């Protein structure tokens, strides 16, 4: 078939479709108009594909030949459309219009016949061309890599010129989850040609074009929100690469399958991490903080993270932030507060897109959303039909129905889909299992009406199966595991019986791991992911609605209550761990551990699930662990030296095996935070202040990072802290890092533990003691902005005037933090607001950090606006600090209040020179140029300085 003649027919039909649709007014013909519009869009896509194939001289392919098979139908459709257009048109001479009126019955009968012919022709063309279009996309997909090239383009921004090791270290330090796996999975699910309605919509175009816009994509469960979000992300990244290369594209997927991707704080850290990869100044700042921090084992404070995000977005020319599945976040309220903050704070720079179910989110976001997009069945039905046709064309298990049932399958699914891809996918799995035509027809006639009804039927089939218990265990683990589990890990779960008498039986491993899918049907899915540079398989619940159903009273399969499920998982972990420990004692080499895929998860998470099982059940597991693990030296040492899972275990337990062997059972029990085990070890005679290894041998203080009390404080284990204090643990004993437990608790902002330590005779004025740093609990709390902790410390005698070596004093730390409550509290406690330390003064710190409200307070309290630092610092005055950092409003405020533009220079020169130098560091045009112009107009001189700056450790992670 000649492509040119095909294009001619297509063009004729498309033109006539537009005319006929414009004439159609009555409700009886609206459905036909909708079908004509859909056909027109499909024909336009095919026209473009044919033209492209001809331009590139592509060899004649089956899909192009298939178009020719419907040419006769296209010609017939064109003729009937011409007749309809002529009959509905009011054109013609007065005599022709009079004849038409006189022959109205003949006219109406002719229209009716034409419409009937069109309705008969349309399904044939739509079905044929729909499958033809799919064949075209399938052939195109075969010509490229298995994952769309856009995944490579998007993830390439993560692998730019930045040093890989440094980037990974910063990401680990921030504890930032990696969303790239989610994006790759969503791209695999995306069918080319679908989702165009969103990308072509006016709402999406407005969102893409206008900064300060907030597009909210919402709809019912299973309607394809994640795939649509990924299509938007893919489109925006391509757009920015072509037209806005300096724009940051940041994204995140909340994921019910991964506990780390359900937490708002970790999402925020992921946003910061991605921003730093686009913002060299932010990256350099984080690298410096990571390298110089005195508490590098702790992550940055939440306030610091937020401040760094705000500063980075302000510095970048434009930022797109795309967040999927808000409803899968556990702590939704702080998430919504963060999104509202970004939307209002960065109206001139940020484009925000969020996807979720409607639920309670609409109340919080409605005032801030500028482009709400409701994913209704009316807009996705065309995509669902395309999805069904794709499966019909490409799935080998459906080919047996090609000649006798494709139309039945298509119409049956479309009739009840109601805009839910997930529902369609579940029904397709059932249809693929039909072996007889009669069974297929029976399945189509009894399709469930909803996802709940679908899951009820799947559960009913599982209950009737001999492997019901295996299905329950798999689903339990997938609901409550702390991270996604690999296929080999789940296989070993089924091969392990839980409880005190439980054990792992290698012979019980599934001969074919993929039999899991048969056991759990379409409730689970197995996906390929990249892990540590290698491909791995993960087992996941197929959809968030599956987890919701399993955890609801509607599910009749097993007990999925949180405490009981975590108890079962904890016992399974311990049984598997003990088997591996005994094996490692016999065969002490790395291959022993490598042969046990569940070992790492079990070793690092048995106690997490124990604590989640509730006080009564956790006591049972603790007793099991005491008898079989903590009281058995060989087994305890085998566990202590196992590789960490890298997620839940603290940095102390993640040290190398040699170092970890030095730690005593009491130290480990305090670290994991199970009071029953700590009490047992203390009752057996463990001394909370005596440093001993696992065999009771004394060890040097420098060989242990923290005391048992110190590690309990760092872990936030209040009950363990109380138990240790009651047993006589010294609350003032420093760890190897030089910090007291009170300073660590103050830095973390843990008010309950701070109170417990002070009530246990902790001294609020004992400083950190290391060669480089000497700070106090009050300064640590002020530095992190913990108002409540500052109040508690002052009430218990903390000296507000005490000098430390990090910021100088607590007032300077609070000024840099921007906490006006703490600044006022310290001034009310008698601290001189203009007090000068070796590390500067509060006014300079507030100007450096950009806190105008603190500057106004200090100036109103009588602080000298031209106060000079008495030590060699980066800046001699507050004006120089503000100019260097690009805080234009603060520069103008300080000048208005009498700041000397030609005050003696600091290490970064005069105020004018600081603005120029700061512009170079920022690498982007902006406020620095305006500041420099303003200072020049005031007669400022450009004076350099040869003094070396003292780089302050401004915040400690």
392 lies in the same domain as 370: no
**Residue 869 pLDDT > 50:** yes
Bridge partner list, 524: 541
254 lies in the same domain as 364: yes
| CATH number for the domain that contains residue 205 | 3.40.50.300
**Pairing, β 485-486 against β 371-374:** unpaired
Bridge partner list, 694: none
Assign 372 to helix, strand or coil. strand
Please tell me the distance from the alpha carbon of residue 539 to that of residue 237, in angstroms, as a whole number.
Answer: 29
**Residue 146 pLDDT > 60:** no
Which residue would you say has higher pLDDT here, 446 or 3? 446
Is 90 a member of any domain? yes
Give the per-residue SS3 of 475-498: HHHHHHCCCCEEHHHHHHHHCECC
Mean pLDDT of the chain: 82
Number of domains in the chain: 5
**Residue 725 pLDDT > 90:** yes
Question: Residue 794 to residues 301, 742, 766, 918: CA-CA distances in angstroms?
Answer: 22, 13, 14, 38
Last residue of a domain, one of 118, 143, 168: 143
What single-letter DSSP state applies at residue 471? H
113 lies in the same domain as 169: no
Q: What is the DSSP string of 654-713?
A: GS-HHHHHTS-HHHHHHHHT-HHHHHHHHHTT--TTS-B-TTS-B--GGG-SS-HHHHHH
Model confidence over 214-230: pLDDT tens digits?
999 999 999 999 999 99
20 lies in the same domain as 161: no
Please tell me the distance from the alpha carbon of residue 131 to that of residue 65, in angstroms, as a whole number.
Answer: 12
Assign 384 to helix, strand or coil. helix
Q: What is the DSSP string of 52-71?
A: HHHHTTPPP-HHHHHHHHTH
Q: How high is the pLDDT of residue 957?
A: 30
Last residue of a domain, one of 649, 672, 701: 649
132 lies in the same domain as 248: no
Q: Please give the share of the chain, as a percent, with pLDDT higher than 90.
A: 54
Please tell me the distance from the alpha carbon of residue 360 to that of residue 375, in angstroms, as a whole number.
Answer: 17
Bridge partner list, 202: none
**Pairing, β 350-356 against β 534-541:** unpaired
* 47 and 17 Cβ atoms separated by less than 8 Å: no
- Per-residue pLDDT averaged across 869-890, rounded? 86
Give the closest residue to 646 by CA, choosing from 690, 702, 604.
Answer: 604
438 lies in the same domain as 366: no
- Per-residue pLDDT averaged across 494-516, rounded? 90
Give the pTM.
Answer: 0.75
* 323 and 355 Cβ atoms separated by less than 8 Å: yes
Is 806 a member of any domain? no
Please tell me the distance from the alpha carbon of residue 886 to that of residue 390, in angstroms, as a whole number.
Answer: 55
160 lies in the same domain as 259: yes
494 lies in the same domain as 578: yes
| Residue ranges in 433-533 assigned as alpha helix (H) | 437-445, 451-463, 468-480, 487-494, 515-520
* 17 and 78 Cβ atoms separated by less than 8 Å: no
Please tell me the distance from the alpha carbon of residue 899 to that of residue 876, in angstroms, as a whole number.
Answer: 12
Q: Please give the share of the chain, as a percent, with pLDDT higher than 70.
A: 75
Last residue of a domain, one of 331, 349, 375: 375
> For the chain, how big is the Rg over CA atoms in Å?
34
Which residue would you say has higher pLDDT here, 826 or 33? 826
* 483 and 489 Cβ atoms separated by less than 8 Å: no
Please tell me the distance from the alpha carbon of residue 761 to that of residue 451, in angstroms, as a whole number.
Answer: 59
**Pairing, β 524-531 against β 350-356:** unpaired
Is 58 a member of any domain? yes
Locus of tokens 């991707």: 261
* 834 and 841 Cβ atoms separated by less than 8 Å: yes
* 225 and 355 Cβ atoms separated by less than 8 Å: yes
* 42 and 130 Cβ atoms separated by less than 8 Å: yes
Bridge partner list, 374: 218
Locus of tokens 């790759």: 184
Q: How high is the pLDDT of residue 5?
A: 55
Q: How high is the pLDDT of residue 223?
A: 92
Residue 439 corresponds to which tokens in the numbers above? 């069974």
333 lies in the same domain as 207: yes
* 489 and 463 Cβ atoms separated by less than 8 Å: no
Give the range among 77-91, 490-504, 920-934 with minimum mean pLDDT. 77-91
* 236 and 208 Cβ atoms separated by less than 8 Å: yes
SS3 content of the chain, % helix, strand, coil (to 5): 60, 5, 35
Domain that holds residue 400: 378-447
| Residue ranges in 194-326 assigned as alpha helix (H) | 196-199, 202-209, 225-243, 264-278, 280-292, 302-315
Burial class (CB in 10 A: 0-12, 13-18, 19+), 162: middle
Give the range among 362-366, 665-669, 923-927 with minimum mean pLDDT. 923-927
Bridge partner list, 624: none
Give the closest residue to 651 by CA, choosing from 751, 536, 773, 736.
Answer: 736
Residue 276 corresponds to which tokens in the numbers above? 């730093």
Model confidence over 727-745: pLDDT tens digits?
999 999 987 677 899 999 9
Please tell me the distance from the alpha carbon of residue 535 to that of residue 528, in angstroms, as a whole number.
Answer: 6
Residue 446 corresponds to which tokens in the numbers above? 């009894």
**Residue 853 pLDDT > 60:** yes
Give the closest residue to 392 by CA, choosing from 443, 417, 342, 427.
Answer: 427
Is 513 a member of any domain? yes
Is 878 a member of any domain? yes
CA angle centred on 641, ends 639 and 647, rounded to 5°: 80
Q: How high is the pLDDT of residue 755?
A: 98
Assign 371 to helix, strand or coil. strand
Which residue would you say has higher pLDDT here, 120 or 849? 849
236 lies in the same domain as 157: yes
Q: 397: which residues sit within 8 A by CB, 6+ positions away?
A: 432
Q: How confident is the model at residue 120 (pLDDT cuts 50, 70, 90)?
A: low
399 lies in the same domain as 363: no
- Other beta carbons within 10 angstroms of residue 518's beta carbon come to 11
What single-letter DSSP state applies at residue 928? H
Is 836 a member of any domain? no
Give the closest residue to 739 by CA, choosing from 297, 274, 93, 277.
Answer: 297
Which helix H or strand E contains 528, and what residues bound it?
strand 524-531
Q: How high is the pLDDT of residue 628?
A: 92
Is 830 a member of any domain? no
Give the closest residue to 912 by CA, choosing from 936, 894, 930.
Answer: 936
Which helix H or strand E contains 422, and what residues bound it?
helix 421-432
Burial class (CB in 10 A: 0-12, 13-18, 19+), 163: exposed
498 lies in the same domain as 482: yes
- Other beta carbons within 10 angstroms of residue 484's beta carbon come to 21
Is 823 a member of any domain? no
Residue 947 corresponds to which tokens in the numbers above? 């003094």
């Amino acid at each position: 078939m000649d492509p040119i003649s095909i294009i001619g027919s297509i063009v004729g039909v498309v033109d006539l479709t537009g005319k006929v649709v414009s004439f159609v007014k009555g409700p009886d013909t609206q459905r036909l108009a909708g079908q004509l519009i859909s056909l027109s869009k499909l024909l336009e896509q095919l026209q473009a594909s044919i033209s492209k194939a001809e331009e590139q001289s592509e060899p004649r392919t089956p899909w192009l030949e298939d178009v020719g098979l419907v040419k006769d139908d296209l010609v017939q459709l064109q003729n009937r459309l011409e007749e309809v257009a002529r009959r509905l048109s009011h054109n013609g001479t007065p005599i022709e219009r009079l004849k038409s009126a006189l022959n109205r019955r003949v006219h109406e009968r002719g229209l009716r016949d034409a419409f009937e012919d069109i309705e008969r022709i349309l399904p044939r063309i739509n079905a044929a061309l729909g499958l033809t279009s799919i064949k075209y996309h399938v052939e195109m997909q075969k010509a490229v890599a298995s994952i769309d090239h856009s995944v490579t383009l998007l993830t390439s921004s993560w692998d730019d010129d930045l040093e890989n090791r440094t980037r990974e270290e910063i990401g680990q330090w921030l504890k930032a989850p990696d969303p790239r796996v989610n994006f790759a999975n969503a791209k695999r699910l995306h069918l080319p040609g679908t989702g165009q309605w969103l990308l072509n919509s006016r709402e999406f175009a407005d969102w893409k074009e206008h900064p300060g816009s907030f597009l909210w994509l919402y709809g019912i469960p299973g309607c394809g929100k994640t795939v649509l979000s990924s299509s938007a992300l893919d489109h925006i990244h391509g757009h920015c690469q072509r037209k806005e290369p300096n724009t940051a594209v940041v994204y995140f997927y909340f994921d019910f399958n991964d506990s780390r991707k359900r937490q708002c704080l970790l999402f925020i850290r992921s946003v910061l991490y991605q921003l730093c990869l686009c913002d060299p100044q932010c990256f350099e700042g984080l690298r410096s903080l990571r390298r110089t921090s005195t508490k590098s084992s702790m992550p940055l404070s939440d306030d610091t993270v937020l401040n760094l995000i705000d500063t980075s977005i302000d510095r970048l020319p434009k930022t797109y932030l795309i967040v999927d599945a808000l409803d899968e976040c556990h702590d939704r309220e702080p998430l919504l507060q963060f999104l509202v903050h970004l939307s209002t704070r960065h109206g001139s720079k940020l484009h925000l897109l969020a996807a979720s179910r409607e639920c309670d989110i609409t109340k919080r976001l409605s005032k801030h959303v500028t482009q709400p997009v409701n994913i209704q069945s009316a807009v996705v039905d065309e995509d669902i039909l395309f999805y069904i046709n794709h499966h019909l064309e490409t799935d080998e298990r459906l080919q047996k129905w090609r000649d006798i049932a494709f139309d039945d399958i298509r119409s049956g699914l479309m009739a009840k889909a109601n805009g839910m891809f997930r529902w369609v996918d579940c029904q397709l799995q059932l249809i693929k299992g039909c072996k007889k035509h009669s069974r297929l027809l029976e399945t189509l006639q009894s399709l469930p009406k909803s996802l709940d009804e679908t899951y009820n039927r799947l559960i009913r089939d599982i209950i009737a199966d001999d492997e019901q218990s295996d299905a329950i265990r798999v689903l339990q683990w997938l609901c409550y595991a702390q991270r996604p589990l690999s296929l080999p890990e789940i296989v070993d779960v089924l091969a392990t019986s839980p409880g005190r008498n439980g054990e792992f039986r290698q012979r019980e491993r599934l001969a074919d791991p993929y039999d899991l899918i048969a056991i759990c049907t379409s409730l689970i899915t197995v996906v390929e992911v990249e892990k540590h540079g290698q491909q791995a398989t993960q087992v996941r619940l197929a959809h968030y609605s599956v987890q919701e159903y399993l955890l609801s009273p509607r599910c009749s399969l097993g007990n999925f209550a949180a405490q009981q499920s975590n108890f079962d998982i904890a016992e399974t972990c311990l049984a598997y761990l003990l088997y591996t420990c005994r094996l490692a004692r016999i065969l002490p080499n790395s291959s022993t551990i490598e042969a046990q895929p569940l070992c790492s998860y079990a070793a690092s998470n048995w106690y997490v699930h124990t604590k989640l099982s509730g006080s009564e059940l956790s006591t049972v597991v603790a007793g099991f662990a005491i008898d079989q693990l903590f009281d058995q030296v060989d087994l305890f040492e085998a566990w202590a030296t196992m590789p960490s899972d890298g997620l839940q275990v603290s940095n102390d337990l993640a040290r190398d095996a040699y170092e970890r062997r030095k730690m005593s059972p009491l130290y480990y029990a305090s670290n994991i935070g199970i009071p029953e085990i700590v009490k047992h070890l203390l009752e057996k005679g463990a001394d909370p202040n005596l440093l001993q290894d696992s065999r009771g041998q004394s060890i040097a203080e420098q060989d242990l990072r923290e005391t048992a009390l110190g590690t309990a404080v760092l872990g936030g284990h209040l009950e363990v802290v109380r138990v240790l204090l009651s047993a006589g643990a010294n609350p003032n004993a420093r760890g190897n890092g030089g910090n007291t437990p009170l300073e660590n608790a103050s830095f973390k902002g843990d008010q309950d533990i701070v109170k417990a330590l002070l009530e246990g005779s902790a001294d609020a004025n004992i400083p950190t003691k290391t060669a480089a740093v000497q700070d106090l609990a009050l300064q640590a709390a002020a530095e992190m902005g913990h108002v409540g902790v500052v109040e508690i410390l002052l009430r218990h005698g903390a000296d507000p005037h005490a000098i430390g070596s990090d910021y100088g004093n607590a007032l300077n730390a609070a000024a840099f933090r921007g906490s006006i409550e703490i600044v006022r509290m310290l001034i009310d406690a008698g601290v001189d607001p203009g007090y000068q330390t070796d590390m500067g003064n509060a006014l300079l710190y507030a100007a450096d950090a950009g806190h105008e409200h603190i500057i106004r307070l200090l100036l109103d309290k009588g602080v000298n606006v031209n106060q000079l630092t008495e030590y060699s610092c980066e800046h001699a005055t507050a004006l120089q600090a503000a100019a260097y950092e690009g805080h234009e409003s603060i520069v103008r405020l300080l000048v208005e209040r009498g700041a000397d533009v030609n005050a003696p220079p600091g290490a970064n020169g005069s105020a004018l020179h600081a603005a120029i130098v700061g512009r170079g560091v920022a690498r982007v045009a902006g406020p620095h140029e305006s500041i420099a112009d303003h200072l020049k107009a005031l007669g400022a001189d450009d004076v350099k300085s040869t003094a070396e700056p003292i780089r302050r450790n401004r915040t400690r992670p």
